[in-house]
């Protein structure tokens, strides 16, 4: 199957694109876009991959589901388009960065600048129906993104995985901690951020690890 995705990912995932489950998933997604309003826009489903080639990855952040309200989702977990109000989890992420680095919060919730520096902003599910959180879960996306994590684990060293919340932490089973750094905390959601996300110091720690491994730090 010819999937429009950045070339390094196309090579890394070429076997995945030929598996029966992926064909079934693509047909489901095609029908959903025909019948409903689906986010992100179809051309941005693989935005996280297109902005961050596999050989450029420094940090992996794992989310669960795209935002499901108008104008928000653009293919990067936790990120929203310019001019869109910060969702609560992103606001808490920015609060933690502001605390760690003693800097003001950014004006935009668009994390494209992170992706372009080597942060893979990976949702486990890459599409969602408008106003219906979780509506595209268990259709095949999780199988695909689990295998993405396995490919990153296989091909990359000196990468930082930020696993926030129990859902992301289940992905730890695919990660060889001898090759990478895994940082875990509570989810930045308002329901849980006070149980360990605030004060986690993950952004400073990630940059310290990158620096020790001879990589350029992320400008958060």
Q: Give the tens place of pLDDT for each residue, 18-76.
A: 999 999 999 999 999 999 999 999 999 999 999 999 999 999 999 999 999 999 999 99
Q: Are 111 and 78 in contact (CB under 8 A)?
A: yes
pTM (2 decimals)?
Answer: 0.97
Mean pLDDT confidence for 66-94: 97
The 10 Å Cβ neighbour count of residue 78 is: 21
Query: What size, in residues, is the chain?
Result: 220
Per-residue pLDDT at 17? 96
pLDDT band (50, 70, 90) for residue 212: very high
For the chain, what percentages of helix, strand and coil (3-state, to nearest 5) are there?
45, 10, 45
Per-residue pLDDT at 166? 96
Mean pLDDT of the chain: 97
d(CA 31, CA 136): 12
Q: Is residue 65 annotated as a catalytic residue, yes or no?
A: yes
User: What is the phi-psi region of residue 157: left when phi exceeds 0, alpha when psi lies from -120 to 50, beta otherwise?
Assistant: beta
Per-residue pLDDT at 64? 96
DSSP secondary-structure letter at 173?
Answer: G
- Give SS3 for 27: helix
Looking only at the bridges linking them, the beta strands covering 59-63 and 119-123 are parallel
The 10 Å Cβ neighbour count of residue 208 is: 14
Give 157's contacts (C-beta < 8 A, 6+ positions apart): 179, 180, 213
Give 32's contacts (C-beta < 8 A, 6+ positions apart): 38, 127, 129, 136
Helix runs in 42-125, H state only: 47-51, 88-101, 112-117
| Catalytic residue (one of 2, 15, 55, 65) | 65
Per-residue pLDDT at 2? 80
d(CA 116, CA 219): 11
- Give SS3 for 147: helix
């Amino acid at each position: 199957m010819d999937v429009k995705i950045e070339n390094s990912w196309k090579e890394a995932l070429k076997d995945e694109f030929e598996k029966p489950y992926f064909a079934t998933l693509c047909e489901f997604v095609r029908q959903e876009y025909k019948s409903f309003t689906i986010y992100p826009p179809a051309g941005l489903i693989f935005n996280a991959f297109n902005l961050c080639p596999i050989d450029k990855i420094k940090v992996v952040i794992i989310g669960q589901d795209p935002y499901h309200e108008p104008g928000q989702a653009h293919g990067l977990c936790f990120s929203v388009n310019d001019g869109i109000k910060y969702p609560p989890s992103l606001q808490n992420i920015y609060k933690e960065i502001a605390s760690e680095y003693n800097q003001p919060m950014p004006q935009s919730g668009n994390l494209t600048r992170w992706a372009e520096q080597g942060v893979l902003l990976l949702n486990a599910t890459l599409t969602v129906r408008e106003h219906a959180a979780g509506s595209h879960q268990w259709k095949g996306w999780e199988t695909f993104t689990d295998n993405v994590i396995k490919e990153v684990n296989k091909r990359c060293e000196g990468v930082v995985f930020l696993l926030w919340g129990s859902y992301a932490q289940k992905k730890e089973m695919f990660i060889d901690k001898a090759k990478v750094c895994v940082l875990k905390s509570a989810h930045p959601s308002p329901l849980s951020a006070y149980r360990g996300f605030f004060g986690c110091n993950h952004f400073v720690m990630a940059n310290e690890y990158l620096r020790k491994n001879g990589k350029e730090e992320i400008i958060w």
